[in-house]
A and B are shown apart, each in its own frame.
Chain A
């Protein structure tokens, strides 16, 4: 197992290095001039030349990459051309909001997906009433779902807010739900939950179906497996058969799909954050792209990519825990 973990960790590091190289290369081949963003469109040629010099844009490419990596290792992601603040400071401000949104959304996706899978595989009577609409909703693109949700729950029914995270104060974790709870602020907590609900569900629906379908087919396969028949022949109760024999053996495909979807959710969050004015890195990225704010774009991409790689490495480890045949 240790060997397996080390190998998996090593390959994650290599992947992140490759990712950083790709991001860096893209930045260097782009024709947009970041100095314009840094100084404004009306800067004098002398000022532009001086800025290029001070930003290190005139150095040869390999030198710049090594600088980039050295700074990266030291936790320095450069200064945003747009906000003129260190990118790390910006990330600290925006990342927790995104993390909170995506993680709760992921929890909702896994719960909905699990329900979808179990109800489908065990053929609960009447459960198709729940599965049908979910399937229909999953076919709609997220921006449409978001707009539909706002029209229905905000504009018509007035039961859910449509923008921002709510008035509560963030504390040490940056997760509004947790911070308001710790600070003993029930009104802030309720507001935070209300603000979170709509964007989180919108973001969760498509992944929920993806996870649910995969899990349903693996559950169905497992239920028909010979060893489940063996377990039944031991006279175990249906609950024990499910708990001890079916679930663990069905987890593998569901886990890999969940890891994959978590990665997609961090990418899909850009659209959802914009529609709901969610103060997260998606919004930050959307504002940085038109101004060619490369340090900001590179940092966000690197963070999202790292989360994706870590999530999938974690899935591999979990799969190996679930199935002893894999950790060879």
Chain B
């Protein structure tokens, strides 16, 4: 949609700074943000976890958590109302009339003990209007669904209910905070379409907050890339995605896994954070990770300037200060701005530099004639599910059986890596759990090679015992060997070295580590005594793209070194393609397609596989 500069913007942020207190420590979360959201515009706000994007959403709503004692500088205006200094009633009126919000997880964002009709009506006023809205967001049989509770709906439907709440009262701005992250890829596409339709139909603006540039790229008119509480780059979607001008944007795009990522090379990652917070706050926050950083980046914060202006003077040259520029030069919605001391040419020259992509050494050849590492025969798993009258329908029995797996057969050769892909409820995790011995099989059998299996779970945070140190967690695995203290210590040190963590990590508890580090510890624990089969259940889906890539690299490296068989469960086809020699596609408890990674991705046979492939958000090969 064309953005008009005459109409007042739906929302504007100028010079926004925000600090929050956590555990008694105050930290700057937003450090000077200028952004305008025009009427009817969709702005994608992209950043890694910790970039401040979700806090920005809360600030826009005037719902910053009191407990964190927020200190706000600068201005936030939504529909003309000052959201920083406004009175509580004013802010409530804005939330009621001008704002709609869609949060990440529709399961937790809807009140579990309230009928969905009532929840929508709270925002819309009347039940007739709620019915209309529920129908408008694409919920079939809205009258029937009106009286159900959230847990009786699927994830996609729940997010549609959230959308109905968001558009109630015809808001001028919808804030969508990671609205698709908790959803399956096919549902993700539907929700993004829905957001665009809502914009087209209701004429509202949308702020789409996401960690995935490709998701933003699907519907956003403009993308703002956030790094450490500042905008690194902002511009029209096409330009930001295809001609990025900030090293961070370039890094994000390069570390993003897609169906075109080379399989035979190490995955590219952003440089891990090494600097201290104090170092980062002084100059450009990205300089400690930036491959193009120069001395000036360390000491002076680059201003956000139009690319035409910023690139001209070059490094060390005189750059016009933002304060000297007329306001519309700084905030024009169609402009492409960036905050970097290096020239656009330098940055774009770097895009085509592939130096840090090391080729992978050749794989372990699956040995013919050897016993398979995993042999699954006619495996069936059924769960008894107790059901509610509403779901059941008249006349059927109270207990229903859910067949999570329906007679699966799968053979995995030693040293082979197999990816198992499917959406939630496809049975892919159940299959892994049965192979790992965590869930009993109802019928059929699983045979494992000597050495057994070890598992790595999605949420490393909750799969590591919080009160044990990393050293104790790793040492536990060695206990049955009875090696003695010194040998244990040596083994633990070796394990930490192999996952690229400093030895001092042995003395800290999991809570003190970052998500990526925790997942590395989980990997070290699983591979301390190399198992015959490593079972990975979505080990990277909770991580930022760059961290995910580094964990995937680690798994691939370990597989080569330890000659392990790997079973890798994921909902993401691009990850499946990179991690598996073969891909197994599952849906509704059945395997619908098996083939080499190249075959499945390039020549999918089953319609379900094709549908999955079509839903994967892609940017297109530019970087």
**Which A residues are within 8 Å of any B CB, using their own CB?**
3, 225-227, 229-237, 244-245, 248-249, 322-325, 327-328
Contacts and interface: CB of A to CB of B under 8 A. Distances in A.
12 contacts: A226-B105, A227-B109, A230-B110, A231-B122, A232-B95, A233-B95, A234-B95, A248-B114, A249-B113, A324-B149, A325-B149, A328-B387
Given A324-B149, A328-B386, A234 B123 contact: yes
Contacts of B84: none
A235 B111 contact: no
A323 B165 CA distance: 22
A325 B92 CA distance: 31
Contacts, number: 73
A249 B99 contact: no
Contacts of A323: 112-113
B106 to A, nearest CB: 9
A226 B61 CA distance: 14
Contacts of B442: none
B63 A227 contact: no
Residue from the set B94, B101, B103, B109 with the largest chain A CB neighbour count within 10 Å: B109
Nearest to A1: B389
B93 interface: yes
Given A230-B103, A249-B111, A236 B122 contact: yes
A226 B103 contact: yes
B101 A248 contact: no
A328 B398 CA distance: 9
A235 B92 contact: yes
Contacts of A231: 111, 122
Given A235-B96, A325-B149, A328-B387, A230 B101 contact: yes
B97 interface: yes
B108 interface: yes
B63 A229 contact: yes
Contacts of A328: 386-388
B151 interface: yes
A3 B101 CA distance: 39
A22 to B, nearest CB: 31
Contacts of B97: 235
9 A-B pairs closest in CB distance:
A235-B96, A235-B95, A226-B108, A233-B101, A226-B109, A227-B111, A234-B123, A235-B92, A328-B388
Nearest to B58: A229
A233 B108 contact: no
A135 B334 CA distance: 62
Contacts of A324: 112-113, 149
B101 A245 contact: no
A156 to B, nearest CB: 44
Contact of A237 (B92, B151, B162, B398): B92
B165 A249 contact: no
Contact of A244 (B114, B123, B168): B114
Residue from the set A225, A233, A323 with the largest chain B CB neighbour count within 10 Å: A233
Interface in B79-138: 92-97, 99, 101, 103, 105, 108-114, 122-123
A234 B61 contact: no
Given A229-B63, A328-B387, A249 B101 contact: no
A236 B162 CA distance: 16
Contact of A245 (B63, B103, B111, B162): B111
Contacts of B386: 328
Contacts of B123: 234-235
Contacts of A237: 92
A235 B113 contact: no
Given A227-B108, A232-B61, A244-B111, 11 more contacts: A3-B398, A226-B108, A230-B101, A230-B109, A230-B111, A233-B101, A235-B94, A322-B113, A324-B112, A324-B113, A325-B112
Contacts of A3: 398
A317 to B, nearest CB: 15
Contacts of B149: 324-325
A203 to B, nearest CB: 32
A320 B101 CA distance: 30
A230 B100 CA distance: 10
Given A234-B95, A235-B96, A237-B92, A249 B112 contact: yes
Residue from the set A225, A235, A244, A324 with the largest chain B CB neighbour count within 10 Å: A235
A231 B162 CA distance: 11
Interface string B280-316: 0000000000000000000000000000000000000
Residue from the set B92, B93, B97, B162 with the largest chain A CB neighbour count within 10 Å: B92
A306 B403 CA distance: 42
A172 B93 CA distance: 56
Contacts of A230: 101, 103, 109-111, 162, 165
A225 B108 contact: yes
Nearest to B111: A227
Nearest to B65: A224
A251 to B, nearest CB: 9
Contacts of A233: 61, 63, 95, 99, 101
A323 B95 CA distance: 28
A234 B62 CA distance: 12
B109 A234 contact: no
B151 A227 contact: no
A327 B165 CA distance: 27
A194 B114 CA distance: 43
Nearest to B101: A233
Interface string B540-558: 0000000000000000000
Contacts of B165: 230, 234
Contacts of B398: 3
Nearest to A232: B63
A233 B168 CA distance: 12
B86 to A, nearest CB: 13
Residue from the set A231, A234, A244 with the largest chain B CB neighbour count within 10 Å: A234
Contacts of A234: 95-96, 122-123, 165, 168
A287 to B, nearest CB: 48
A328 B390 CA distance: 10
Residue from the set B94, B96, B168 with the largest chain A CB neighbour count within 10 Å: B96
A231 B114 CA distance: 12
Nearest to B108: A226
A231 B110 CA distance: 9
Contacts of B94: 235
A327 B398 CA distance: 12
Contacts of B99: 233, 235
Interface string B361-393: 000000000000000000000000011100000
Residue from the set B63, B110, B113 with the largest chain A CB neighbour count within 10 Å: B113
A248 B113 CA distance: 8
A230 B164 CA distance: 12
A233 B114 CA distance: 17
Contact of B151 (A225, A229, A322, A325): A325
A62 to B, nearest CB: 37
A236 B168 CA distance: 13
Interface in B34-65: 61, 63
Nearest to B392: A328
Nearest to A238: B88
Interface string B138-178: 00000000000101000000000010010010000000000
Contacts of A229: 63, 103, 109
Interface in B186-239: none
Contacts of A249: 111-113
Contact of B114 (A225, A232, A245, A327): A245
A229 B63 CA distance: 8
A328 B388 CA distance: 5
A238 B59 CA distance: 18
B145 to A, nearest CB: 15
A328 B400 CA distance: 12
A37 B165 CA distance: 73
B537 to A, nearest CB: 24
A108 B220 CA distance: 58
B532 to A, nearest CB: 40
A196 B114 CA distance: 40
